[in-house]
């Protein structure tokens, strides 16, 4: 399996009230061709910012990438000029967002919005672009695609709009599709349909998908591998099945525990005690220490590295792991 | 029963919130340098208005036929007019008139508009309908034209200019305050207070009105500049201050004949209006930024 | 969409009736006797009375109102008391120049206002923004007649580029339209800026960028499209300011338009002219507001398809 995307020690900061706050504090991971990788974490852990940093879509926010490399198809896209990046965006790499109702331009017809990217990247004529756009809408399962072209986003439901977004994102046949919480704003039944659609994209069109979500259910449905983020860093990584069955990091363990399970008679839902630390005043040592049931003195002093866990295909950022795999290689080298 | 207890607490909480808000306002206001600069200019203008006649180097009607239509010099900082009167002194003395006309007009309009808006919003029904329909009709006329019409009926003179400007300012105020009143009325504690049997007048005065004050202040600040310009315009047309008075608009009207000969006669009075209104607008902007963050960008 | 328009138009009828009524009352509240004014001070009382009868001014107010309304509905605006010329004729000479002046002013204002507003929004926080905003606030703060006088001094007397008054050539329109439009341009700049800044924060802008569109397309093809609605609404609302300002600006430039006519007619207590002028002014204003309303409906698809 060839590696399509490699993120190395990515650090992104935001300006807040004249203070610089690091929200992504050194994230590294890789995505192979044909995979569906899930990036999981609570809100504020930096997963969305990571994806925006990869796409270099931080304009308009007070965020900027401070350090790191993002190697896509062999090239470090962080070092590209904006012009070159625009050729990548929308064509080789594209993104869909959380709220389909606000992510589409309310005053432009759907057809027009679709055709913009098509004409830009694929250099088709208006007529050809129109036909192609209709094909795209049909391929994502939108009925009466031709009449939809003339409609406005507010005339469609959330689920339909999300399909439109997917059609838009897929229209130039990108190699990598980044999906930022694509189903969070949708009804459960529609969720399932969209997830099926994404699996389809991978199976039939060979699209690699990076799925950002806070919903472990989605991860278990669709993702081959899962990357768990906490407080701006990756804390666990591995094949979905194994991570679920045998979580290495206490945070992952807590997340899985707090998933409501049908059939299990639970009086109270489990919730990880405590709160996510404030990025403006992070504690020393491991950022999860305050909430961790296995906390040791060591944890309060130093932040652990992300290491391979012996005899598994997983990696974990925990002093417990280090104990288990003394002498293992760190991922960040 | 517990409902009303909660609301009484809410009421006192609102009052306390208002006081600490003022401190926050002052602090953020100081940060905005442009607003601060304009505030200083305004204080300066206020001093001129108060102490005008005493600081002016010459008398406003002091003639000097030896030096007519002279440009700016050390003797006459802004030159002289066709009678040899010192323009600079006239500007200073006229400040009183020009500024007070604008201010009093807007204040009058604000008072009238606030009363109407409060009544309209609070009582609704036919009172509301009459007031709103009337203001709809008044809105169909462009401001200055309405003012000209009023002055035509009432006769020229500054007092009538004030009335005319107040007249066309009232509907906008009424509308805004009505909107605010409706919003405030929505909130629970008014109904709670009513259930306690408090008199309607008391409710309006003690609880609704104070909450509209920030909006009133913002709106006054937005309109004073325009009122001053309207007043100057009316004087320019000969409908306001009597010709020959040192009111800035009247001075501009008189200066028309001397285009070419006495640019300073045109430049300085207009500059005075411009700087005043500019300072007022910048100040109003700063005030609005601080009082209503929603309008901030 | 059609029903939307029809409803708005129908809603205007009671308003227009009320407005014409108010104008009538207004005009007749103006003190002074037009018959006396026209006859002159030396005329005898009988002469004045005869004149009054011939002008129909002796009838009761109610009767006069009906004459007025009847005339309105049949397009007869009466005759000028001063010159006995039909009011409609008086207007025909002046209406076109005034209209052209207004259109030019609004044209200036919208074009320059949008450009400056876009610059301010795109370069937000940097010097082009501050410059634009400063020009905008200055535009609102400057008295338009003073601007006119200063322009006459500099460009007409000083450089001789433009005539100081009259309407002989197209050049005579340049300075007055600029003086008239300055305040409106300022408002449009400010609103374009704030609307654009707000729109640029919205999610769909991020989507547009994610598709690889360059900033120019994003701003003009996406953001501005959404903001243009607000801008046009503001422009329309400023039209009243334009009408009022025309009175003063026309005076400054000795421009023979409707504005000047108003002042002159009020002075002479020329009731029919004043009445008709006030009516035309308010009608223009109401119509522009209606057009803005309708345009808003066209541009904002949410309203259109409801």
Verify whether the Cβ–Cβ distance C141 to B278 is below 8 Å.
yes
Q: ipTM score of the complex?
A: 0.84
B78 has a pLDDT exceeding 80: no
Mutate to test the interface with A, among C210, C223, C228 (most CBs of A within 10 A): C210
Confidence at B266, pLDDT banded by 50, 70, 90: confident
Q: Walk along chain A (333 residues) in steps of 10 and give the mean pLDDT of each run.
A: 87 85 91 92 88 90 89 90 90 91 90 90 88 90 89 89 91 92 86 88 89 90 92 92 90 86 73 84 87 86 85 86 56 45
Mean pLDDT of C103-127: 88
**Closest Cα in chain B to C121:** B297
Q: How far is C139 from chain A (nearest CA, A)?
A: 29
Distance CA C26, CA A150 (A): 52
Tokens found for residue C161: 């580029």
Chain C CB contacts of A102 under 8 Å are: 202-204
Distance CA B177, CA B219 (A): 10
Chain C CB contacts of A105 under 8 Å are: 204, 207-208, 222, 225-226
Give which of C90, C66, C24, C253 is closest to B149, Cα–Cα.
C24
Alpha-carbon distances, residue C228 vs A107, C55, C219, C290, C292 (angstroms):
11, 51, 12, 17, 12
Mean pLDDT of C223-232: 81
On whether residue A230 sits in a domain, the answer given is no
C206 has a pLDDT exceeding 70: yes
Verify whether the Cβ–Cβ distance C212 to A103 is below 8 Å.
no
pLDDT tens digits, residue range C246-298? 888 888 888 888 888 888 887 777 777 887 888 888 888 888 888 877 777 77
C130 has a pLDDT exceeding 80: yes
Tokens found for residue A231: 């407080």
pLDDT tens digits, residue range A164-212? 999 999 988 899 999 999 888 888 888 888 898 889 888 888 899 999 9
- CA C176 to the chain's CA centroid: 13
Helix and strand totals (H; E) in chain A: 13, 12
CA angle C131, C137, C140 (to 5 degrees): 140
Question: Read out DSSP for B55-76?
Answer: H-SS-TT---TTS-S----SSS
Task: Enumerate long-range contacts of C71-76, CB under 8 Å, 24 or more apart.
Answer: C72/C20, C72/C279
On whether residue A10 sits in a domain, the answer given is yes
Q: How far is A85 from chain C (nearest CA, A)?
A: 8
pLDDT at residue A61, as a whole number: 83
Could you tell me if A117 lies within 8 Å of chain C, comparing CB atoms?
yes
A163 and A129 share one domain: yes
Mutate to test the interface with C, among A105, A119, A164 (most CBs of C within 10 A): A105
Tokens found for residue B257: 């004949």
Give which of B135, B132, B144, B152 is closest to B105, Cα–Cα.
B144
On whether residue A103 sits in a domain, the answer given is yes
Distance CA B107, CA B93 (A): 22
pLDDT tens digits, residue range B14-50? 555 556 666 666 666 666 677 788 888 889 888 888 8
Confidence at B80, pLDDT banded by 50, 70, 90: confident
Q: How far is B262 from chain C (nearest CA, A)?
A: 10
pLDDT tens digits, residue range A266-286? 677 788 888 888 888 888 888
pLDDT tens digits, residue range C147-156? 988 888 888 8
Confidence at C96, pLDDT banded by 50, 70, 90: confident
A319 and A212 share one domain: no
Distance CA A319, CA A325 (A): 10
A31 and A95 share one domain: yes
On whether residue A229 sits in a domain, the answer given is no
Chains with 3+ CB–CB pairs under 8 A to C are A, B
Report the percentage of chain B scoring pLDDT > 90. Answer: 10
Asked whether at least 3 C-beta pairs link A and B within 8 Å, the reply is no
pLDDT at residue C27, as a whole number: 76
Bridge partners of A228, per DSSP, are A40, A236
How far apart, in Å, do the first and last CA atoms of chain A sit? 21
With contact defined as beta carbons under 8 Å apart, do C140 and B224 qualify?
A: no
Give which of C119, C100, C267, C134 is closest to C196, Cα–Cα.
C119
Alpha-carbon distances, residue C65 vs A139, B141, C23, C56 (angstroms):
70, 20, 11, 11
CATH number at residue A191: 3.40.50.300
Domain end marker among A190, A223, A256 = A223
pLDDT at residue A29, as a whole number: 92
Mean pLDDT of B194-204: 65
On whether residue A257 sits in a domain, the answer given is yes
Sheet strands (E) in B223-280: none
pLDDT at residue A186, as a whole number: 85
A145 and A199 share one domain: yes
- For tokens 């913002």, what's the residue? B218
Chain C CB contacts of B259 under 8 Å are: 149, 152-153, 157, 164
DSSP state of A26: E
- Nearest Cβ partner for B137 among C18, C30, C150: C18
Mutate to test the interface with B, among C31, C98, C143 (most CBs of B within 10 A): C143
Verify whether the Cβ–Cβ distance C226 to A94 is below 8 Å.
no
> What is the 3 state secondary structure string of B22-46?
HHHHHHHHHHCHHHHHHHHHHHHHH
Q: How many domains does chain A have?
A: 2
Verify whether the Cβ–Cβ distance C145 to B233 is below 8 Å.
yes
A166 and A37 share one domain: yes
Could you give the dihedral angle defined by the CA atoms of residues A85, A90, A96 and A100, in that order, rounded to the nearest 10 degrees?
Answer: 120
Identify the weakest region by mean pLDDT among B137-146, B207-216, C66-75: C66-75
Mean pLDDT of B250-272: 84
- Nearest Cβ partner for B229 among C15, C143, C197: C143
pLDDT tens digits, residue range C45-61? 777 777 777 766 777 77
With contact defined as beta carbons under 8 Å apart, do C289 and C9 qualify?
A: no
How far apart, in Å, do the first and last CA atoms of chain C sit? 8
Q: Count residue pairs from A and C with Cβ separation < 8 A.
A: 83
Chain C CB contacts of B129 under 8 Å are: none
With contact defined as beta carbons under 8 Å apart, do B237 and B253 qualify?
A: yes
Mutate to test the interface with A, among C125, C200, C207 (most CBs of A within 10 A): C207
A138 and A24 share one domain: yes
Could you tell me if A241 lies within 8 Å of chain C, comparing CB atoms?
no
A218 and A271 share one domain: no
Report the percentage of chain C scoring pLDDT > 70. Answer: 93
Identify the weakest region by mean pLDDT among A203-207, B93-97, B292-296: B292-296
Chains with 3+ CB–CB pairs under 8 A to B are C
Sheet of A233-239: strand order equals A93-96, A176-180, A208-213, A36-40, A225-230, A233-239, A315-316, A307-308
Could you tell me if C201 lies within 8 Å of chain A, comparing CB atoms?
yes
| Phi, psi (degrees; rounded to nearest 5) at A71 | -95, 115
pLDDT at residue C225, as a whole number: 83
Chain B CB contacts of C268 under 8 Å are: none
pLDDT at residue C305, as a whole number: 55
On whether residue A83 sits in a domain, the answer given is yes
**pTM score, two decimals?**
0.78
- For tokens 């062999």, what's the residue? A74
Alpha-carbon distances, residue B239 vs A118, B92, B155, B163, B259 (angstroms):
64, 22, 8, 13, 21
A19 and A105 share one domain: yes
Helix or strand run (H / E) with residue A96: strand A93-96
Confidence at C20, pLDDT banded by 50, 70, 90: confident
**Closest Cα in chain C to B267:** C150
pLDDT at residue C304, as a whole number: 56
Mean pLDDT of B230-250: 85
Give which of B208, B223, B216, B245 is closest to B81, Cα–Cα.
B245
The chain-wide mean pLDDT, for chain C, equals 81
On whether residue A332 sits in a domain, the answer given is no
Q: How far is C12 from chain A (nearest CA, A)?
A: 29
A50 and A147 share one domain: yes
The chain-wide mean pLDDT, for chain A, equals 87
Chain C CB contacts of B71 under 8 Å are: none
On whether residue A188 sits in a domain, the answer given is yes
Could you tell me if A107 lies within 8 Å of chain C, comparing CB atoms?
yes
Tokens found for residue A148: 């939809």
pLDDT at residue B7, as a whole number: 47
Could you tell me if C40 lies within 8 Å of chain A, comparing CB atoms?
no
Alpha-carbon distances, residue C102 vs C92, C174, C188, C244, C256 (angstroms):
16, 11, 16, 11, 13
A132 and A196 share one domain: yes
Asked whether at least 3 C-beta pairs link B and C within 8 Å, the reply is yes
Confidence at B88, pLDDT banded by 50, 70, 90: confident
Verify whether the Cβ–Cβ distance A116 to C221 is below 8 Å.
yes
Verify whether the Cβ–Cβ distance A91 to C305 is below 8 Å.
no
pLDDT at residue C293, as a whole number: 78
Chain C CB contacts of B133 under 8 Å are: 18
Mutate to test the interface with C, among A103, A115, A121 (most CBs of C within 10 A): A103
Which three-class secondary structure state does DSSP give residue A98?
coil
pLDDT at residue A158, as a whole number: 86
Could you tell me the residue range of the domain that residue A271 belongs to? Answer: 247-324
A68 and A194 share one domain: yes
At CB < 8 Å, which residues of chain C contact B? 15, 18-19, 22, 26, 29-31, 137-138, 140-143, 145-146, 149-150, 152-153, 157, 164, 193-194, 197-198, 240-245, 247-248, 251-252, 262-263, 266, 274, 278, 281-282, 285-286
- Nearest Cβ partner for C137 among B145, B255, B282: B282
Distance CA C24, CA C64 (A): 9
Could you tell me if C158 lies within 8 Å of chain A, comparing CB atoms?
no
Q: How far is B202 from chain C (nearest CA, A)?
A: 36
Residues 219-238 of C with CB under 8 A from A: 221-222, 225-226, 229
- CA A190 to the chain's CA centroid: 20
A161 and A57 share one domain: yes
Could you tell me if C153 lies within 8 Å of chain A, comparing CB atoms?
no
Distance CA C180, CA C258 (A): 14
Verify whether the Cβ–Cβ distance C251 to B236 is below 8 Å.
yes
């Amino acid at each position: 399996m060839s590696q399509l995307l490699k993120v190395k020690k990515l650090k992104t900061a935001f300006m807040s009230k004249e203070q610089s706050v690091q929200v992504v504090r050194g994230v590294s991971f890789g995505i192979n061709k044909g995979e569906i990788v899930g990036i999981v974490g609570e809100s504020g852990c930096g997963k969305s910012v990571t994806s925006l940093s990869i796409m270099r879509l931080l304009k308009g926010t007070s965020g900027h990438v401070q350090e790191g490399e993002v190697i896509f198809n062999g090239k470090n896209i962080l070092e590209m000029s904006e012009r070159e990046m625009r050729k990548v965006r929308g064509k080789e790499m594209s993104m869909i967002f959380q709220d389909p109702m606000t992510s589409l331009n309310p005053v432009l017809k759907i057809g027009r919005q679709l055709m913009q990217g098509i004409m830009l990247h694929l250099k088709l004529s208006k007529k050809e672009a129109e036909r192609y756009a209709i094909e795209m809408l049909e391929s994502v399962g939108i009925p009466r695609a031709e009449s939809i072209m003339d409609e406005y986003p507010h005339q469609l439901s959330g689920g339909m709009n999300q399909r439109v977004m997917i059609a838009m994102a897929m229209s130039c046949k990108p190699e990598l599709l980044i999906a930022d919480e694509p189903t969070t704003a949708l009804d459960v039944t529609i969720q399932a349909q969209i997830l099926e659609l994404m699996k389809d994209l991978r199976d039939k069109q060979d699209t690699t998908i990076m799925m950002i979500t806070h919903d472990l259910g989605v991860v278990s449905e669709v993702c081959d591998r899962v990357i768990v983020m906490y407080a701006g860093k990756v804390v666990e990584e591995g094949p979905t099945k194994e991570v679920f069955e045998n979580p290495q990091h206490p945070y992952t363990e807590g997340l899985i525990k707090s998933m409501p399970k049908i059939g299990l008679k639970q009086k109270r839902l489990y919730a990880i005690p405590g709160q996510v630390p404030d990025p403006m005043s992070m504690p020393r040592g491991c950022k999860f220490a305050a909430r961790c049931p296995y906390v040791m003195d060591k944890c309060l002093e130093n932040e652990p590295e992300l290491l391979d866990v012996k005899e598994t295909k997983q990696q974990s950022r925990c002093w417990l792991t280090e104990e288990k795999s003394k002498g293992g290689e760190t991922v960040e080298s | 029963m517990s409902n009303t207890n909660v609301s009484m607490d809410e009421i006192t909480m609102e009052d306390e919130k208002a006081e600490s808000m003022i401190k926050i306002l002052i602090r953020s206001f100081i940060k905005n340098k442009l607003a601060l600069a304009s505030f200083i200019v305004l204080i300066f203008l206020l001093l001129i208005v108060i102490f005008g006649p005493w600081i002016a180097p010459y008398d406003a009607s002091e003639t000097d036929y030896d030096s007519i239509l002279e440009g700016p010099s050390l003797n006459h900082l802004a030159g002289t007019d066709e009678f040899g009167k010192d323009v600079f002194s006239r500007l200073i003395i006229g400040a009183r008139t020009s500024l007070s006309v604008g201010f009093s007009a807007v204040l009058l309009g604000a008072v009238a508009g606030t009363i109407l808006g409060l009544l309209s919003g609070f009582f609704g029904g036919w009172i509301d309908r009459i007031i709103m329909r009337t203001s709809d009709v008044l809105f169909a006329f462009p401001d200055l034209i309405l003012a000209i019409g009023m002055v035509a009926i009432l006769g020229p003179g500054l007092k009538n200019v004030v009335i005319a400007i107040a007249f066309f300012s009232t509907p906008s105020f009424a509308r805004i305050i009505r909107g605010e009143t409706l919003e405030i009325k929505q909130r629970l504690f008014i109904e709670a207070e009513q259930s306690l049997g408090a008199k309607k007048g008391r409710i309006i005065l003690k609880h609704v009105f104070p909450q509209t004050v920030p909006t009133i202040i913002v709106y006054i600040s937005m309109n004073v500049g325009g009122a001053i310009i309207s007043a100057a315009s009316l004087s320019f047309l000969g409908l306001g201050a009597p010709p020959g008075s040192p009111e800035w608009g009247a001075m501009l009207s008189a200066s028309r004949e001397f285009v070419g000969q006495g640019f300073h006669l045109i430049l300085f009075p207009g500059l005075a209006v411009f700087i005043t209104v500019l300072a007022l607008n910048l100040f109003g902007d700063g005030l609005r930024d601080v009082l209503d963050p929603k309008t901030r960008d | 969409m059609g029903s939307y328009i029809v409803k708005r138009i129908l809603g205007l009828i009671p308003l227009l009736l009320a407005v014409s009524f108010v104008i009538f009352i207004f005009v007749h509240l103006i003190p002074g006797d037009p018959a006396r004014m026209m006859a002159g001070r030396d005329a005898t009382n009988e002469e004045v009375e005869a004149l009054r009868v011939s002008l129909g001014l002796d009838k009761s107010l109610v009767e006069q109102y009906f004459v007025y309304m009847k005339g309105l509905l049949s397009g007869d605006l009466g005759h000028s008391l001063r010159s006995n010329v039909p009011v409609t004729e008086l207007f025909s000479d002046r209406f076109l120049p005034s209209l052209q002046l207004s259109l030019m002013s609004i044209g200036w204002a919208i074009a320059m206002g949008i450009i400056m507003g876009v610059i301010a929004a795109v370069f937000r926080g940097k010097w082009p923004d501050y410059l634009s905003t400063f020009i905008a606030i200055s535009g609102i703060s400057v008295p338009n007649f003073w601007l006119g006088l200063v322009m006459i001094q500099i460009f007409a007397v000083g450089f001789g580029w433009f005539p100081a008054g009259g309407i002989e050539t197209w050049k005579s329109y340049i300075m007055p339209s600029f003086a008239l439009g300055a305040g409106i341009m300022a408002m449009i700049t400010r609103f374009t800026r704030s609307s654009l800044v707000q729109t640029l924060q919205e999610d769909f802008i991020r989507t547009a960028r994610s598709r690889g569109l360059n900033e120019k397309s994003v701003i003009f093809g996406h953001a501005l499209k959404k903001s243009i609605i607000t801008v046009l609404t503001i422009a329309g609302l400023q039209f009243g300011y334009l009408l009022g300002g025309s009175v003063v600006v026309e005076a400054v430039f000795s421009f023979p338009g409707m504005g000047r006519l108003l002042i002159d007619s009020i002075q002479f207590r020329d009731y029919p002219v004043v009445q008709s002028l006030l009516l035309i002014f308010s009608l223009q204003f109401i119509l522009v507001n209606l057009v803005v309303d309708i345009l808003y409906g066209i541009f904002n698809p949410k309203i259109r398809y409801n």
